[in-house]
Structures are given as C-alpha cells and as structure tokens.
Amino acid sequence: MAHATAEHSHAHEAHESHESLKVLGFWIFIVTDILIFGTLFACYAVLHTHTNGGPGAKELFEMPGVIAETFILLTSSFTSGLAVLAMHKGKVKQLIAWLAVTAVLGAAFIGMELTEFVKLVEEGHKISSNAFLSAFYTLVGTHGLHVSIGLVWMIGLMIQLSRRGVTEVTTRKVTNLSLYWHFLDVIWIFVFTVVYLMGVM
Amino acid sequence: MWENIKDFASTFFVTGDPLIYGADVSIALTSIAIVFVLTYFKKWTWLWREWITTVDHKRIGIMYLIASLLMLFRGGVDALLMRTQLALPNMKFLQADHYNAVFTTHGTIMILFMAMPMMFALFNLVVPLQLGARDVAYPFLNSLSFWLFLMGAMLFNLSFVIGGSPDAGWLSYPPLSELSHSPGVGENFYIWGIQISGIGSLATGINFLVTILKMRAPGMKMMKMPLFSWSVLSSSIIIIFAFPILTVTLALLFLDRFLGAHFFTMDLGGNPMMYVNLIWMWGHPEVYIVVLPAFGIFSEVVATFSKKKIFGYNSMVFSMMLISIVSFFTWAHHFFTMGASANVNVFFAISTMVIGIPTGVKIFNWLFTMFRGRITITQPMLWTLGFIPCFAVGGATGVMLAVAPADYQYHNSYFLIAHFHQVLIGGVVFGYLAGIYYWWPKVFGFKLNDRLGKWAFWLWNIGFYVCFMPQYALGFMGMTRRLYTYGSDTGWDLGWAPLNLISTVGAFLMGLGFIFQVWQISYSIRKGERDLTGDPWGGRTLEWSIPSPAPMYNFAVEPQVTTDDAWWKVKEDRAKGIKPAPVKYEPIHMPKNSAIPFVMSVCWFIAGFGFVFDWMWMAIPGLIGVAICLLARSFSYDTDYYIPVDEIERTEAALRGRTV
Ligand code: HEM
Ligand SMILES: [Cu+2]
C-alpha cells in the first residue's frame, strides 16, 4: 500500500513537470512560427510595389470590412482569455462556452476573409496576376490557414474538455491553444498595419 | 485505352537509360528480398513493435544511422559517376542533362539526407545519455521527426525512377527551377522531399533544445555540461532560426510552380534574387548546423584520448555560441558577384572572416588539450587528427573566397568545389565518423575492428587530398563547376586532363575506403571486440557510466552530478575508496510506443506525391490523413506507463552481473 502511494505521488510530479515541458516547447514552436511570418512579411515588403502596372493596395483594399475583421479577431482573443480565466476557476461549462464563442468569432473572421478573397479574384485580381498579389495572398492566407487550423484544434479540445473536465493535461492544452490564439492576434495586428493601413495610406 | 496507359507510363517512369533500368531492377530485387526475409523469419511484428513504433531515442538513433549510411552510399555513387565522366576530355559516359541531375541529387542528398540524419543519429544516440536523462523531452515528436525525414528522403530518391530527377542544382535557383524552365516534376520532388523532412528537422531542433535545457541530471549546471551537448545546443538554436526560412522559401517556389504565383519569376514583378537571398539565409547557417556537432565530437574525443580535461572549456562554449549568432550574418558571401554594392559586399566579407576567429580558437584548444597529454591513437582519434589539418586548409581557402574582389575570380570555379568539400568532408564527414567510431561500442556493445578501420581511414584521408587538391589548381586554370565535359584542347593543351584524372583516382580511393567500412562493420558484428565494461575507452562523461548497450530506461537511478566530467569524478572517488551512495530504485516513467508518427508520415508522403504530380485526388486525402493523425494523437491520453521496481532490479542484475 505504502508502495502504491509513493508511486502515485511520484507519478503526479513527473506528470506535472512533463506538462510544463510541453508549454515550453510550444513557446519555441511559436518562435519558429514568428520566423515564418517574418519571412513572409519581408517578401511582402520587397514585392508590394511590384504590381506590374496593375492596381496596388490603395485601389484594391476596402477598409470597412478589414476593420470589422480586426475587431472580430481582437474580441475572440479577449474571449479566449476569458476561457482561460474560467479554466483557472475550474468551471468547465463556462470554459467550453467561452471557447465556443471564440470559435464562432474565429469562423466569422475566416468567412469574411474568404469573401474578400473571392471578391478580389472575381474582379480578376488573382495570385497569378502579379508579384504584389502573390505576396498579399500568401501572407494573409497563411494567417488565415493558421486560424482555420486553430478552429479545428479548438473544437477537438472542447470535446475533450466535455469528456474529461479540467485536468493537468487539458489545462496544458488550453494554455497552449490560447497562447496560439493570442499569437495569431498579434500577427494580425501586423498584417492590418503593414498590409492594409500602410497600403491605403 | 492501351495507348493512354503506354503514354502515361512512358512519362511516369523514367526510361531510356541503362543506369535507370539497372536501378529499377535492383530496387525491385531489394524490396522483394526484404519482404522475403522478413516473412521467412517471421520478423514483421518484431519490426513493427520494436522499431517502427518505437519512441526510444536509442533505437531512433540507430535508424537514423542506417538511413544516413545508405544515403552516403547513394550520394557517393553519384559522386563517382560525375568523376568518371570528368576523368578525361570528351567522355561520353553521362549526357549533359544526366550530369545536371546527378550533381543536383548528389549535393542535395549529401547535405540534407546524409549529413543531417547522421547528425541526428548522434544527437539521439548520445545526448540523453550524456545528460543523464531517460529520454528526450518529447519522445513521440522524436519518432515523428525520424519518419518525416525518412519519407521525405524516399520521396526525393523516388524521382530517380519515377517522373525524373531534379536538375537545377542543389539549391534550385530560379528562374531555372521555375515551371518556365523546368517543366518536369523533378523540382516538385525536390521541394516536397526537402519540405517534409525539413519539418522533421525543425521539430528535432526544438526537441533537443528543450532536452538540453530541461532534462539534465540533477546538479549538472549548464557550464558543467559535456561539450558535445553544448554543440548540439548551438546547432539546435541555429536549426530553430534557420529552418523556418527554408520552409517559406520552398513553399513560395512551390506556389510559383503550382498556382502560377510570381515570387521568383522573371515576369510580372517577380524577383529571382530574393530567392537566392532567402535560400542562403538558411543555407549558410545550415553548414554551421552540421559542422558544430562535429566540433563537439572532437572535443569529447580529444579529451578522452589525451586523458585530460578539455583545454579552455569556457572559450569553447563561448566560441560555439558566437558562431551560432554570426553564422546568420554571412549569407551574401555566396553571391558577391551578383551586383550588390561594394558596401554590402564589404560587410559580408568581414563577417565571414570574423567567423574564422572562434573557429581558430577551437583548433588551438584541441591542440593544447593534446599537448603533454597521454595520447592513445584509436580510430576516433585518427579521424580527429585527420580533421585538424584538413579543416585548417579548408578554412584558409574559405577566407580566400571571402575576399570579395578576389571572389570574382574564384566564384563558381573548381576552387570553390575544392573548398567546400574540404570543410564538408574534412570537417563534417570526418567528424561524424569519429563520433560513430567513438560511440559505436556504447550503442551496439562491441568495437569496430581496428585493422580494417585503419585501411578505411588512410584510403579516405589520402583519397581526399588526391581528389580535391588538384581541383584548386583546376579552378585557377578556369574550370568552372557544373561542367559536364571539356574538349581535348583545354584537356591536353591547357592541362586540365591530367589533373582531372588524378582527381578521379582520389575519388575512387575514397569509394574504396567506404567499402572497407562496410566490410569492417559486417566483420565486427560477428567478430568485433565485445564491450563488457560499458566504459571501453576510459571515458569522462555519463554515457560511459552505464552498460553497453544501455538498458531501455538508460539510468536505473538518476545520476547526481557535482563537477564537469562527471563520470571521471566518480571513478576518481572510487579509486580513493569513497563508496558510492547505496542505490534505491524507483518506478520509472516511460512513454508508450505509438504508430501515429509512422502513419502520419506515410500520409505526408502520399500528399507530397500527389502534389508532385498535381494529382489533387491523392494530395487532399493525404492531407486529411495527416489531420486525422493529429487529432488521433490529441485524443489519446493513455500515452505512458511505469517500469516497476522489480523489473528494474532484474534488468540491472542481469546487466551488471555480466559487467562485473
Ligand atoms: C565522397 C567524396 C565526394 C566526391 C568525390 C564529391 C564530388 C563532387 C562533384 C564531382 C561535384 C560536382 C561538381 C560540379 O560539377 O559542379 C560535387 C558537388 C557537390 N558536392 Fe560533392 N563529393 C563528395 C562528397 C560530398 C559530401 C560529403 C558533401 C556534403 C556533405 C558534398 C556536397 C556537394 C555539394 C553541395 C555539391 C554541389 C552540387 C551542385 O552544384 O548543385 N559532396 N561533389
Ligand atoms: Cu556560407
């Protein structure tokens, strides 16, 4: 019996340190992702004037939609923060609810972005039109792809939370997810500033 | 219908060359033989349970090692093909387009599918043991890294018999690599082969960084860590910062080819020079990624076989960290001639020369360690001693190349070829071989035969100089790289032919050296000297404190570290009669095996193959498979278990009983 409890407490410790190890690894993953976006931003900076005579940022971008997207994504970052707060209080239902709100907002963001892309393409501004548009679609699309992957992950986590509640493992997972989500938010602020604001100015 | 099939097959399969048919036949025969042997000896479940699904860093290391040796063989055959073609003027051995494909696959395979996995083999085989850890930080991810690498490598190699090999050079510069100039699928194989294995490499970088930061044995402060682990740390940091750039660069090239984007095209605003900048922002750090661990190996080997502490430990650590930073600021030395302003060239010329300083410091540290040491010339030591002069000369010619105005003369000549092979073979290959000979007994439990090893060493070493020294001269005489043949006028009147012939002889000497190594390994498996002590060389670091091969959990009890050269200290204490603390076993936490890394990598392979041929019906299911694997992993909670105390006791008793 004594043996069993010793084993248990040991197990507990090992587990906990293992979970924090995974958060550290996720931070480093985020660093590599920052480099991915950094490289894409650099390419955009080089190519954003290479329109080959076609319309540039000023002519193409419609700010109201983009501003709405921005607000939606910022709000979703806030609600994901609320989800983490609920988690620390141990309230599973609340946690899942806030995650659901976050996911809906994220989906709305993706929907708006897709609409914007479809409209541009229908007007004949395609990824193959010129170097500026190649860089634009790739940079913004990579961010959108990240958000979409985040959505799938979020849904998977909500299912796990409803089955298992708040445990060490699910806590770590939610922590990483919200880290990811805030990170995408920060990236978007750069996209918004560099691509859209500076583009139309 | 029949016509269609014939049409498809004639573009799908590479045809028309006896070499290719030979390869087809040998691939088919080898596969049949493997399947037969596995079935006959009923080894399929063994293979699946013990290897394919394993998350044990030691096994993963062994698989990396095998794969990298096979790739060394393929890259080496490519090299010999090229050297045969160049041996004499007007040779008709390879056509121009074949030659292009061969130098491309040779370069790509040697760096990405030979050097990288051989390096990861050593990371895996050594680092956790050196740190006194039971595994790496993320064993599951580690297995995933391996399988991604292997699937990427297989995809790349498949291009030899299916679809056609890439032939735009090992870095695939656009516009040559764009659809407009390379309409075949070869470049797609290049992109996806590297992309898939590159994701694995990035994950390995993260894995070992965290392992080194967080998994060291209690008491092992950073500055008490063995130098090989330090070199892995610096190399991992470079991987983390450099590989994302490669990922993006290849992705953009793929978008150009796949969706008609214009990042690097000649028209519609594309900028090919941007590719060259990006690829070298990864490419230059990459050469330091592979050479730093070699430096770490030499530090271990020199200290062990001089029976001395390494000289200048702090300066070693400092210089490696310095190199890992400065290596990001030298990339433009690969294209001084592309028309940047003089100021830009001066910056990169100076930064390149600066990086020579910490490297020189290390060479002096090794020499001072040997000075007045009790040196024993074992095989690892031989390769180390071969490395020092070779790398010193390679470094010196590197500084010559760094002189930007002079580089207008050397650029893309055989002088460059000789230089980078000197650092890659003399530094990286000799270094990894030293490491393999050094840690081989730890991994497999026996030493590699000395006599055959000496033959291999001298053939490699002499062959190297015979092969590459004439190429410096050829460079000065105007022979450019990637040249598939030359006429008898330049050959005999200008004197290229004799030098080329000598160079080819040298290449075959190295090939002979490789054959000796294959012989040496197969001989030693049967007759090699067994290592029953766990410490065959009189080692200084923790990996030598446990039996060879190490048990599944590495360390039955976590070692407590107080100094650097931790195992040496233990041995000194024992000699003084200080008794070690009595051991008390505790259950050991271990990760469970998993099939997901393998299955997921196969899905990546399928997706990659689909993208290569623009077959969305194949690529999309492949990607869906990847997503399903990720979710399956996320939903599995039963991922670890405990080894109970009595099992540890039994294993240790058996091992130590044998050890005495
Ligand atoms: C084993 C002895 C080797 C021989 C005889 C050899 C020979 C050659 C030859 C003949 C070329 C083509 C030169 C040209 O036509 O431009 C070449 C290119 C190259 N080799 Fe090796 N090589 C050897 C080992 C290695 C190793 C170990 C590495 C890397 C770790 C390596 C990396 C490269 C690279 C990157 C290229 C440039 C390919 C390109 O031009 O795209 N080689 N080598
Ligand atoms: Cu370089």
CB distance B360 to B319 below 8 Å: no
At B414, list the tokens: 């055989």
Per-residue model confidence as pLDDT tens digits over B113-156: 999 999 999 999 999 999 999 999 999 999 999 999 999 999 99
Whether A8 shows a pLDDT value over 60: the answer reads no
Predicted pLDDT of residue B659: 46
Number of Cβ pairs < 8 A linking chain A and chain B: 113
Instruction: Assign residue B545 the CATH number of its domain.
Output: 1.20.210.10
Per-residue model confidence as pLDDT tens digits over B172-186: 999 999 999 999 999
Whole-number Å distance between alpha carbons of B552 and B556: 10
DSSP-assigned letter for residue B588: E
B337-375 in b/e form (b: 16+ CB < 10 A) is: eeebeeeebebbbebbeebeebbeebbebbebbbeebeb
> Which domain range does residue B198 map to?
43-658
> How many angstroms is it from B283 CA to the middle of ligand 2?
7
The residue-averaged pLDDT of A145-172 equals: 95
Using alpha carbons only, how large is chain A's radius of gyration in Å? 21
B250-262 in b/e form (b: 16+ CB < 10 A) is: bbbbbbbbeeebb
Whether A10 shows a pLDDT value over 60: the answer reads no
Smallest Cβ–Cβ distance between A36 and the set B137, B248, B255 belongs to B248
Looking at chain A, the whole-number percentage of residues with pLDDT higher than 90 is 87
* Sequence-distant (≥ 6) Cβ neighbours of residue B396 within 8 angstroms: none
In this structure, are B424 and B561 located in the same domain? yes
**Residue B330: nearest ligand to its CA?**
2
Per-residue model confidence as pLDDT tens digits over B16-41: 777 778 878 888 888 888 888 888 88
Whole-number Å distance between alpha carbons of B312 and B93: 52
In this structure, are B149 and B34 located in the same domain? no
Per-residue model confidence as pLDDT tens digits over B600-619: 999 999 999 999 999 999 99
The residue-averaged pLDDT of A46-57 equals: 93
A13-23 in b/e form (b: 16+ CB < 10 A) is: eeeeebbebbe
Per-residue model confidence as pLDDT tens digits over B623-659: 999 999 999 999 998 888 999 999 999 988 888 765 4
DSSP-assigned letter for residue B563: S
**Do the chains contact at A28 and B206, CB–CB below 8 Å?**
yes
| Average pLDDT, rounded, for chain A | 91
Whole-number Å distance between alpha carbons of A176 and A33: 14
Smallest Cβ–Cβ distance between B269 and the set A29, A40, A132 belongs to A132
C-alpha distance from B282 to closest chain A C-alpha (Å): 11
Q: Closest residue of B to A142, CA-based?
A: B248
Indicate which residue's Cα is closest to atom 4 of ligand 1.
Answer: B79
Q: What's the total number of domains in chain B?
A: 2
In this structure, are B159 and B179 located in the same domain? yes
B219-248 in b/e form (b: 16+ CB < 10 A) is: ebeeebbbbbbbbbbbbbbbbbbbbbbbbb
> How many angstroms is it from B104 CA to the middle of ligand 1?
9
Counting every residue written for chain A, the total comes to 201
Per-residue model confidence as pLDDT tens digits over B264-283: 999 999 999 999 999 999 99
- Residue where the block lists tokens 């490789």: B514
Ligand 1 near B355 CB (within 6 A):
no
Report chain B residues whose CB lies below 8 A from the CB of A47: 263, 269, 271, 274
**Do the chains contact at B261 and A11, CB–CB below 8 Å?**
no
Neighbours of B474 (CB within 10 A): 25
How far the first Cα of chain A sits from its last, in Å, is: 73
In this structure, are B38 and B166 located in the same domain? no
Whether A14 shows a pLDDT value over 60: the answer reads no
> How many angstroms is it from A40 CA to the middle of ligand 2?
22
**Residue B352: nearest ligand to its CA?**
2
Q: Which candidate, B440, B652, B418, B414, places its Cα nearest to that of B554?
A: B652
The residue-averaged pLDDT of B554-580 equals: 89
Whether A2 shows a pLDDT value over 80: the answer reads no
CATH number of A18-200: 1.20.120.80
Predicted pLDDT of residue B658: 54
Which helix (H) or strand (E) segment holds residue A114: the answer is helix A92-122
Predicted pLDDT of residue A15: 55
Whether B10 shows a pLDDT value over 70: the answer reads yes
Predicted pLDDT of residue B457: 98
What are the C-alpha distances in Å from B41 to residues B34, B359, B447, B526?
Answer: 11, 51, 27, 19
C-alpha distance from A1 to closest chain B C-alpha (Å): 14
Ligand 1 near B467 CB (within 6 A):
yes
> How many angstroms is it from B56 CA to the middle of ligand 2?
35
Predicted pLDDT of residue A13: 53
Which of the four pLDDT bands, split at 50, 70 and 90, describes residue B9?
A: confident
Per-residue model confidence as pLDDT tens digits over B440-485: 999 999 999 999 999 999 999 999 999 999 999 999 999 999 999 9
For residue B61, report the phi and psi dihedrals to the nearest 5 degrees: -60, -45
| Average pLDDT, rounded, for chain B | 93
Maximum alpha-carbon separation in chain B: 85
**Do the chains contact at B240 and A28, CB–CB below 8 Å?**
yes
Whether B551 shows a pLDDT value over 90: the answer reads yes
Which helix (H) or strand (E) segment holds residue B237: the answer is helix B227-259
Whole-number Å distance between alpha carbons of B654 and A13: 30
Q: Identify the bridge partners of residue B446 per DSSP, sorted by sequence position.
A: B530
* Sequence-distant (≥ 6) Cβ neighbours of residue B602 within 8 angstroms: B147, B151, B625
In this structure, are B317 and B243 located in the same domain? yes
Among B10, B26, B42, give the residue marking a domain's end: B42
Looking at chain B, the whole-number percentage of residues with pLDDT higher than 70 is 99
Predicted pLDDT of residue B652: 87
In this structure, are B538 and B651 located in the same domain? yes
The residue-averaged pLDDT of B357-363 equals: 91
Whole-number Å distance between alpha carbons of B609 and B604: 8
**Do the chains contact at A32 and B240, CB–CB below 8 Å?**
yes
For residue B480, report the phi and psi dihedrals to the nearest 5 degrees: -90, 160
Whether B233 shows a pLDDT value over 80: the answer reads yes
Looking at chain B, the whole-number percentage of residues with pLDDT higher than 90 is 82
